[in-house]
Structure 1
Amino acid sequence: MVKLGIKFELGRCIVDPSDHSLRFLSSLESAEACTTLQPKFIEVLAYLASRFPDVVSREEIIEHIWDGNAYVGSKALTNAIWHLRQQLSPISDEPIIETVRKSGYRLLIEPQYSSADLVDDVDVLQQLQSRAESLTIALKRSWITVAAVSVISLITLAYHLYHDQIKMMEPQVSRLSWGGEAERFPAVSPDGQWLVYGSRNNGQSYSLYLKDLSDFNSSPKRLTSNASREARAVWSSDGTALYFPSTDKRTGDCFIKQFTIATANTVDLSRCNSYMSALDLAPNDTELAYIGFDLDTSTGGLYTVNLQETEAPPRRLSCLVDCNYRDRDLAYSTDGKWLAIARRFGNISEDIFIRNRATGEELRLTEGLEDIRGLSWHQDNKRLVFSTETSGVRNGFIIDISTKQSKALNIAGFSYPSFLANSNALVFERHKKEYQIVYLATDAAVASAPFPMLQSGFSFRNPDYSEQTKRIVYVSNLTGANELWTADINGENRRQLTRLNQRVAYPKWSHDGKNIAFLAPDAKGEGNVIHILNLASQSLSILTSPYIDHGRLNWSHDDSAIFTSTDDGLTQFFLSEHQVKVISDVDIRLAQATNDGRLLFTRDDKNGLWEMELDKPDKLTKIISSSVFREKHNWTVVDNGLFFKANGAGFQQINYWNFSEKALKPIIRLPSSSLSSFGSMSYSIAEQQLLMTLSKYSERDVMMLEHKLLR
């Protein structure tokens, strides 16, 4: 057998695992180029070489390289094989690593080793036993024989105890809820008996439910009525009351409520943003922190209210004017010293701060995270657990507030953690979701469901089609990071366009098909910047901007400028002149320019589809009423109409609106949550296909976690 840690040759390439390098030799056998790869990439290559010429299954590679962690290893292995093929391409024009369908991978070039590096395949424990037996024979029947046997026994016992300990330290995940369409924001009562969480069924509104954890087979009890929406709650310190945001279905008003469980008595405390607004209680219920808004400006932010004073006014902690961030989530430390805050700087950048409650001073813990979903303090008040998404993969982390060092929990779908009182265990919402690009044939005589265009175990989203190039551009996490890719209208001939190794979002073709505009995080991770990719030169440029946050992008009809939303409203960025022009102060979500100088758009503050003439931006006209059109992002204009998503009771519907006839035509109904509220649509006129981002599947369950990193 081959030692995995030694050098070997593949054709003109020397593979050296000791420094994770590939050295390519010229015909003179001198070093011509050296490339350093990630350690895991080299480990995969060395393992395939050690098994040459056999086919090695994915499961076997994951077991040896990633210790059997299928969640991490599956995507990491695909990423490793992709990179190895790229880096080994100088050896041969033919593939070096073969994918054997439904079997695994095989190295196609025989590795060359030094004869000194070939050893017998003997188990470590057997080696120890063999040495001890040799020693026993040499010493014959002396008293050392007894000692040797004892050594063998101790080694064997230690070996098994060690591996038993490793098994015992593996994460223990158990399910606490079943049956709901989406079970969210779990929290356990201080005595550990009761679980409260938000849930809904068949696309109906969220309500709060209470489950008795001492009687696991008992059915959960609904706490709130059909007349309102509730999804997340926190417990009072004595476990007798709940605090939660609640939205009245009829009026749309949102209030933070105090709910006494024994009597079902409810008291309104303060206004909030929505029924999913984050909130938390300080120790001993002295203070409530929540995401609300200023009554005069309707500007969302973080507020606290003193619960020890009757009718105490809320105190705003977030800035009110000239803000470059939005506070979105929060959590008190168990000793009451700190308030952790999840703060978003742009629509794709978010980070964690902790605020000293006594002094008001803030400390930044992270830089350049993507999407934080939940914060919870460890009982030692020195560590914080949080959930974040990296290139479409959601995971949990625990961070030390002193060193700012974080470690991954490696729990798939980890979201909204909440520690049990005086415990190292926590409950969390397990959210599993993947996206795929689908197409819907709009000219079919018989209506059919959307068909997947790209199929694999990775996420594909945000498609945009170019009539000029006959190709789509989209975002995929195939390489381990969200990057831009392109494919033809059949999803074939795929090609990677960017290698930024960070989250890119919302690509948009220019009308002439020569450029692609997209968003990516800025250098500080505190916002996003507009990138322009030129397809001919493969050059990448960044538009100069005084803003740190930009909305979805749209090209002017002559491709000379980009329209997007900023803090000042609808803004135009000129490509050649490096000028920035504010068109209107209206807060736009998505816009589409027409060839007659108009701009069709949706607004953040009002429903309906709107239009403006670019030479008369002060005149705004609603062209589809709010009763018909309430979508913000999932719509696209085609010829004399537009396709858009509409939400119904327990379903979603794709509609077509005819501008001339002012008539609505239903196209197809889909299950609720099929299309994300932050998705996108595009249309191929030639193929008469509507392209969309579909949620491949979505699960939200309440789970309990015990983990060695939480001890």
Structure 2
Amino acid sequence: MIEIKKEAVFTLAGCVVTPSDNSLDFKNCSANTEVSQDLPNEKISLQPKFIELLSYLARQYPNVVTREELIDNIWEGNIYVGTKALTNAIWHLRKHLTPLAEPKAQAIETVRKAGYRLLIEPEFSKADLVSRPEVLEVEQAKVKELSDKLHRGLLSFALFLIVVVAGLLFHLYQDSKHLIQTEQTRLTIASGAELYPAVSPDGRWLVYGKRSNLYLKDLHTLTDTPKRLTSNQTREIRAIWTLDGKSLLYPSEDRSSGVCHLSQLMLDSQQVVRLAPCLSDASALDISPDGSSIIYIWKDPLAQQSGLYELHLSGDTQPVRLSCDNECDYRDRDIAFSPDGDWIAISRRFGNISEDIFIRNRASGEEFRITQGLEDIRGLSWHPDSHKLVFSTENSGVRAGYLVDINSKKITDLSVVGFSYPKFVPHTNELVFSKYIKDFKVAYLELDQAIPTTIFPLSNSEFSYRNPDYSSVTKRIVYVSNETGHNEIWSTDIEGRNRKQHTDLKRRVAYPSWSHDGTKLAFLAPDDKNEGNKIHILELATGGISILASGYLDHRRPSWDFDDKHVLSSTHDGLLAFSLTNNSPKVVTPVEVRLAKVLNNSQMIFTKIYESGLWLMDLNQPEKMKILISSDVFDEDYNWALSDKGVYFRELHSGYQLINFWSFNTDLTTPILKLPSRSLTSYGAMSYIPSKRRLLMTLSEYSKRDVIMLKHKLLQ
């Protein structure tokens, strides 16, 4: 059998690849004539990992190489770094090498659920080929030399035996761990989205939230129908068990009044006891290991923002606030007690597109940061040893699970797709989680159809596209895509062709917005520390990106004023106009706004954070505002778009969604299209194409969520 040297020089369609200096020499390439003019006629240098990856694929040609094998060999098994780095490296190699491939083919093929394969045959020098028998003889010679040395003395031989036995025992122990297979057992099979699963202390019962109710399932009889625990008069979605397993603690929100109470349900009698006020039906909570208190997220009426509160369950006590309560630059989102009771883990959000994990010492109140630069944490749970945490994070639209050591801060990928809201089963190393897989597409509705029937994806792809915005000047649609492994800004023409990538920040970008003259884009992205978000401006002519001066850590979706001299974005001080010349921002209105769009040089239409409806403001007299569409009809945050004749918007109903049109002239609302529930995501965007009479939106390709029981070798 023949092996190829790792540092071997080789050619691809005449292009010389030299691993020793990480170079590609295009001088003698034979390329696809359709794109050959795009090839450089010179020698270029690439990142060492890119060349190492290309060399590995060439040595394995024509075989398919798995992602795991590539990460093991190129990134030394570091899955957390290697997963994104591999996707990025493949994208760059394709960019350089695809002109060398056959027409309409790529240089590197993605084999679904298998890995990658090089499609251009490499040519190696015979001098770089080594036969395995020669290698074997060399190794045998080394073994013989070692054996001779070991036999020179009885003491050396005895020491050798001790080392061998110790090593064998160690490897047997390691192998016993590696032999444990990762097992996923599906616990729920009904339609719908099952969230926040938790298993009872005796391992018998599973509680979870679905469609704003709590359900109980017997894990001994998985085929039995789950029992609904709560009423349709209230909303509940997450619950925890008391230590005796006889009751559940959960936030419960009255559907009519919106008032929320932290409640306790006695399972034997179905009696409900109200314990304290709460924030919402999705408020995070956990119970201490001794069962004496709970910690949860709430907002005291006197506090500026929500935070962590501890409530003792014995006696008539009041919640005590634990976290920052004044001018905080973060929001606490989730919490978990460590099994030994010494720590509280907190997921903490900075702005609206970055989040990280902190741990708090219960005795001293001192806090330590465990992660840096995560995007969106979707649940966390302590390992039984109290030294590690399992958490879920959504990166560029993809959810995955990780294990982090609180001492070393080392993060390990669990390689479980769709991993969300983990919770360890009491007294075991197994956990339950909600499996969540969801893709997004930019889609459009043809408004000139006599009978609108459905919305159509602008293009079909394995990647997620979202948050479109159209420019009538450039006649292009800008959107966010995760196809490079990161959320970046791309644009396309009206028909979904001639795509172009505009950013390569390698961190989460969001909510692009065209200036009225089509020369600039405003968007949000984290700062250099990967915290919070800042308003970024992209100049289309030069590709240059600048950050607007702002003392705020969190900015909401940007839009432009009428003359394109300011970007409008809401902060905790209200809606502000941020100057492109970095002058101090001006307060447009102290009202906190979700999304604002100027109608002309004196009027602005917007949605509020704390009040439903669509509103109109006179920019010359900002205190004068009136409601355009009442909250009875309009209860939407972001899914609305302006046209010259009115407003298109989404309306939610039980079991379906409507796309409506409200007319400026008649003040009437007309339904246009009925869609299945969850077709359009709540955090999507709408945009209108006047020349085509098309409505753009973010289509949510929804895959149902199930509760999974996970047994994983890394959790043992």
TM-score above 0.5, yes or no: yes
In 2, are the aligned partners of 1:242 and 1:260 still within 8 Å (CA)? yes
2:1 corresponds to 1:9: no
Out of 85-94 and 511-520, give the one that drifted further: 85-94
Query: Shift of residue 578 of structure 1?
Result: 2.7
Partner of 1:46: 56
Of 514, 528, 535, 1:530 maps to: 535
Aligned counterparts of 1:13 and 1:357: Cα–Cα separation in 2: 61
Aligned counterparts of 1:44 and 1:247: Cα–Cα separation in 2: 56
Distance 1:176 1:579, change over 3 A: same
Query: Shift of residue 164 of structure 1?
Result: 8.8
Query: Shift of residue 579 of structure 1?
Result: 2.9
Of 296, 300, 310, 2:306 maps to: 300
In 2, are the aligned partners of 1:655 and 1:664 still within 8 Å (CA)? yes
Of 503, 508, 523, 2:513 maps to: 508
Deviation string, structure 1 residues 572-600 (Cα, Å, up to 9, x no partner): 01112533111211010000012241111
2:42 corresponds to 1:36: no
Partner of 1:223: 229
In 2, are the aligned partners of 1:227 and 1:249 still within 8 Å (CA)? yes
Distance 1:101 1:226, change over 3 A: closer
Of 226, 246, 267, 2:252 maps to: 246
2:210 corresponds to 1:199: yes
Query: Shift of residue 32 of structure 1?
Result: 5.8
Of 110, 122, 132, 1:111 maps to: 122
Deviation string, structure 1 residues 503-550 (Cα, Å, up to 9, x no partner): 000000001110001000011222111111101111111111111110
Deviation string, structure 1 residues 391-440 (Cα, Å, up to 9, x no partner): 11111111111111111111111111101112111001111111111011
Of 181, 184, 202, 2:195 maps to: 184
Deviation string, structure 1 residues 664-684 (Cα, Å, up to 9, x no partner): 110111111111111111110
Distance 1:50 1:99, change over 3 A: closer
2:574 corresponds to 1:573: no
Distance 1:78 1:444, change over 3 A: farther
Distance 1:311 1:658, change over 3 A: same
Q: TM-score, normalised by structure 2?
A: 0.87
2:288 corresponds to 1:277: no
Aligned counterparts of 1:586 and 1:364: Cα–Cα separation in 2: 33
1:290 maps to a residue whose letter is Y
Helix, strand or coil at the partner of 1:295: coil
Deviation string, structure 1 residues 184-225 (Cα, Å, up to 9, x no partner): 11000111111111123xxxxx21111111222222111111
Aligned counterparts of 1:324 and 1:101: Cα–Cα separation in 2: 42
Q: TM-score, normalised by structure 1?
A: 0.87
2:83 corresponds to 1:86: no
The alignment-based identity, stated in percent, is 48
Q: Trace 1:241-640 onto structure 2 (pairs within 5 A).
A: 241-296=247-302, 299-308=305-314, 310-576=315-581, 578-640=583-645
In 2, are the aligned partners of 1:271 and 1:293 still within 8 Å (CA)? no
Deviation string, structure 1 residues 273-293 (Cα, Å, up to 9, x no partner): 111111100112111111111
Aligned counterparts of 2:604 and 2:26: Cα–Cα separation in 1: 58
Helix, strand or coil at the partner of 1:346: coil
Aligned counterparts of 1:639 and 1:691: Cα–Cα separation in 2: 16
1:350 maps to a residue whose letter is E
Partner of 1:679: 684
Of 185, 208, 214, 2:214 maps to: 208
Helix, strand or coil at the partner of 2:265: strand
Query: Shift of residue 688 of structure 1?
Result: 0.8
Deviation string, structure 1 residues 148-201 (Cα, Å, up to 9, x no partner): xxxxxxxxx99x99999687334211111111311111000111111111123x
Aligned counterparts of 1:568 and 1:386: Cα–Cα separation in 2: 33
Aligned counterparts of 2:104 and 2:124: Cα–Cα separation in 1: 21
Out of 312-321 and 423-432, give the one that drifted further: 312-321
Residue segments in structure 2 that go unaligned for 5+ positions in a row = 29-41, 145-167
1:219 maps to a residue whose letter is T
Q: Trace 1:53-92 onto structure 2 (pairs within 5 A).
A: 60-62=65-67, 64-65=69-70, 79-88=88-97
2:259 corresponds to 1:236: no
Query: Shift of residue 61 of structure 1?
Result: 4.8
Deviation string, structure 1 residues 292-323 (Cα, Å, up to 9, x no partner): 11124573222111112x22011112322212
Residue segments in structure 1 that go unaligned for 5+ positions in a row = 136-156, 201-205
2:94 maps to a residue whose letter is R
Aligned counterparts of 1:92 and 1:275: Cα–Cα separation in 2: 55
Helix, strand or coil at the partner of 2:386: coil
1:84 maps to a residue whose letter is L
Query: Shift of residue 447 of structure 1?
Result: 1.4
Partner of 2:32: none
Partner of 1:145: none
